[in-house]
A and B are shown apart, each in its own frame.
Chain A
Amino acid sequence: MESQALLVLLLFVLVLSIFLGFELINKVPSTLHTPLMSGANAISGITIVGALLASGGDGTLSSILVGTFAVFFASINVVGGYLVTNRMLKMFKKK
């Protein structure tokens, strides 16, 4: 695809997603602020996709090594983030 057309498409996706995000999480009870934050934080670990491609892809040794460190940090973010959110949410009970 021509790079300008691609840019427009990606920006389109970005703008719509930001609006979607605002609509989705507009009203969150304060009880859930911490889990929401740490759950969202785990989602931001999606950058692991880019990290995996850089670490396992066809690059120079230095770009592969940098990508490998990215995989390490992103996977801590993803795994730790989801587990810790789950641990917190397990405690939220109604009696």
Chain B
Amino acid sequence: MISFLQSPIFVNLAYIFASILFIFGLKMLSSPETAQRGNLVSASGMLIAILVTLAQNEIIAYEYLLIALIGGIIVGVLASSLVKMTSMPELVALFNGFGGIASLLVGVAEFINPSSATLIQLVAISFTVLIGGITFSGSLIAFGKLSEIISGKPLILFGQRFVLSTLLLISLILILELILATGILGISGETALFVLIGVTLILGVLLTAPIGGADMPVVIALLNSYSGLAASSAGFVINNNVLIVAGALVGASGLILTNIMCKAMNRSLSNVLFGGFGSASSATGGSGQIQGEVKPITAEDAYLILEAANSVLVVPGYGMAVSQAQHVVRELGELLEDNGCEVKYAIHPVAGRMPGHMNVLLAEANVSYDVLAEPDDVNPLMDTVDVCIVIGANDVVNPDARENEGSPIYGMPVIEVDRAKTVFILKRSMAAGFAGIDNPLFLKENSRMLFGDAKESISTLVSEFKT
């Protein structure tokens, strides 16, 4: 029995079965009704793959492996259960980085193992180290930016592109040396590998540091894709199909998400990665000065308008996450519904700091997912909306995207809140959004600014409703 469990045919069949479970799991993750089960299906695929691997007779010693496994499980359980929902973006970024470094280390372990690697394996090891290293350091920078350990502003090095291309060239030379072992560089293969690791880590930092906070959703999706590609590449190192299949699935899903995010900003991927958005946009686009004045409103007056409204559209942005307003927002929504008003939430794909950020926060606050709408669903009906409540969103509701050809965000699909009868904008001050662009929405005839912390402002509205 044991010998059958260790036979190559059984092991490989089990890996195929695990791959099937990953495929079904991912498929089920794309619909809200089946998503939770899908995640369990995919997790059981992983469990099968791990157990079968542990039973293989290639594994001769369990001491180190079990210590690391148990340590990893403890850290994973603690991190995932203790983290607050608002810190989800940085945790996802961190886990992603761990996946990258793990693939890199698998490549390194295979390289320093004396059983000689084939040419194909050497190529695969080089790619695994390259992608794994970029994923790791890039994810750590993303983690730092999201948790505000380092500034969210784009950091652009002098001669960024020159440095990047030089480093890419160096890594290419190192990879060639690793594969061909010509000895021309006068360093051993291992030295070349360690230098390559260093170079890829710097590359990851340089590729991520120039990207501003508002563009984070794109980067996170892209790094997610890289971690899959690294795993897939590691599959070529150890000649294992399940790594190749699972890694490729993740790589593809990450690329699709990246593409969705880029489309939502009407920008190309290279523009996001190398554009240094938000730093060069201070030059006004030749549209002339924006006319109008800011009209503040008190919470009491806002309440009177809301009380008479028949339809309300809530548009959340990163500001809602910052002030932790999602619970009071849900409470306000329920009070409005009790008042006979129709309440919907319009969520822009790049609102927040990761794909779907706002949806997670509102789900945490118990908002039903079927009232969460996308811009394309709400824009055609915007003229019938009585009140739009914009909570800490800025660039995703900027009318310049439709009206001002000189604006850096011209052409970006936005939520056209200015077409609603009244727009309340909850904002702490008149500071510009992350893209650093003026927002003429604040000066429109039908706009009212409700200054102050979003959570406090909405709490005041809620208590007005209750009295």
A8, chain B: closest CB distance, angstroms:
10
Q: Report B52-80 CB contacts with A as 1/0, cut-off 8 Å.
A: 01101011111011011101110111011
Instruction: List chain A residues, Cβ under 8 A from B322.
Output: none
A36 to B91, CA, bound (A): 14
Instruction: List chain B residues, Cβ under 8 A from A20.
Output: 23, 248-249, 252
Instruction: List chain B residues, Cβ under 8 A from A37.
Output: 92, 220-221, 224, 253-254, 257, 354-356
> Once the chains bind, are B221 and A86 in contact (CB under 8 Å)?
no
Q: Is B410 interfacial (CB 8 A cutoff)?
A: no
Q: Report A69-95 CB contacts with B as 1/0, cut-off 8 Å.
A: 111111111111111111111111111
Given A41-B95, A86-B36: A52 in contact with B65 (beta carbons within 8 A): yes
Q: Is B198 interfacial (CB 8 A cutoff)?
A: no
When the two chains form the complex, which single residue of B250, B347, B354 contacts A44, counting CB atoms closer than 8 Å? B250
> Once the chains bind, are A33 and B252 in contact (CB under 8 Å)?
no
B115, chain A: closest CB distance, angstroms:
8
B23, chain A: closest CB distance, angstroms:
7
When the two chains form the complex, which single residue of B40, B75, B118, B237 contacts A76, counting CB atoms closer than 8 Å? B75
Residue of B nearest to A48 (CB): B50
> Once the chains bind, are B250 and A35 in contact (CB under 8 Å)?
no
When the two chains form the complex, which single residue of A50, A55, A75 contacts B240, counting CB atoms closer than 8 Å? A50
> Once the chains bind, are A43 and B103 in contact (CB under 8 Å)?
no
Q: A30, A52, A62 — which one has the most chain B CB atoms within 10 A of its CB?
A: A30
A54 to B415, CA, bound (A): 51
Instruction: List chain A residues, Cβ under 8 A from B26.
Output: 21, 24-25, 36, 39-40, 43
A31 to B374, CA, bound (A): 9
How many residues of A sit at the interface, in one of the four size bands? 35 or more
Which secondary structure characterizes the binding site on chain A? helix
* Interface Cβ pair total, 8 Å cutoff: 398
> Once the chains bind, are B105 and A66 in contact (CB under 8 Å)?
yes
Q: Is B369 interfacial (CB 8 A cutoff)?
A: yes
Q: Is B163 interfacial (CB 8 A cutoff)?
A: no
Given A30-B359, A75-B73: A88 in contact with B368 (beta carbons within 8 A): no
Q: Is B42 interfacial (CB 8 A cutoff)?
A: yes
**How many B residues, CB 8 Å from partner?**
114
> Once the chains bind, are A77 and B36 in contact (CB under 8 Å)?
no
Instruction: List chain A residues, Cβ under 8 A from B251.
Output: 18, 21
Q: Report B106-130 CB contacts with A as 1/0, cut-off 8 Å.
A: 1011101111001110000000000
When the two chains form the complex, which single residue of B38, B72, B250 contacts A74, counting CB atoms closer than 8 Å? B72
A24 to B24, CA, bound (A): 9
Q: Report A12-44 CB contacts with B as 1/0, cut-off 8 Å.
A: 011001111110111111111111111111111
A25, chain B: closest CB distance, angstroms:
4
> Once the chains bind, are B43 and A82 in contact (CB under 8 Å)?
yes
B413, chain A: closest CB distance, angstroms:
12
Q: Is B32 interfacial (CB 8 A cutoff)?
A: yes
Near A by CB (< 8 A), chain B positions 295-348 give: 347
Instruction: List chain A residues, Cβ under 8 A from B370.
Output: 94
Q: Is B417 interfacial (CB 8 A cutoff)?
A: no
> Once the chains bind, are B354 and A34 in contact (CB under 8 Å)?
yes
Instruction: List chain B residues, Cβ under 8 A from A67.
Output: 64-65, 105-106, 109
Given A20-B249, A66-B109: A30 in contact with B368 (beta carbons within 8 A): no
B59, chain A: closest CB distance, angstroms:
4
Instruction: List chain A residues, Cβ under 8 A from B355.
Output: 30, 33-34, 37
Near A by CB (< 8 A), chain B positions 203-254 give: 220-221, 224, 227-228, 230-232, 234-254
User: Can you show 8 pairs from A to B with CB atoms below 8 A apart?
Assistant: A21-B249, A32-B29, A32-B31, A36-B356, A44-B250, A53-B53, A62-B112, A67-B106
In the A-B complex, list the 4 residue pairs whose CB atoms are closest, starting with the nearest: A21-B252, A75-B72, A33-B356, A79-B76
Sample of 20 more A-B contacts, CB < 8 Å, known A31-B32, A40-B250: A13-B245, A21-B248, A22-B255, A24-B26, A24-B249, A25-B27, A30-B359, A44-B96, A44-B227, A46-B242, A47-B247, A52-B69, A67-B105, A70-B106, A72-B68, A77-B76, A77-B96, A81-B99, A85-B39, A91-B364
Chain B interface (Cβ < 8 Å from any Cβ of A): 22-23, 25-27, 29-32, 35-36, 38-40, 42-43, 46, 49-50, 53-54, 56, 58-62, 64-65, 67-69, 71-73, 75-77, 79-81, 83, 85, 88, 91-92, 95-96, 98-99, 101-103, 105-106, 108-110, 112-115, 118-120, 220-221, 224, 227-228, 230-232, 234-257, 260, 347, 349, 354-357, 359-360, 363-364, 366, 368-370, 372, 374
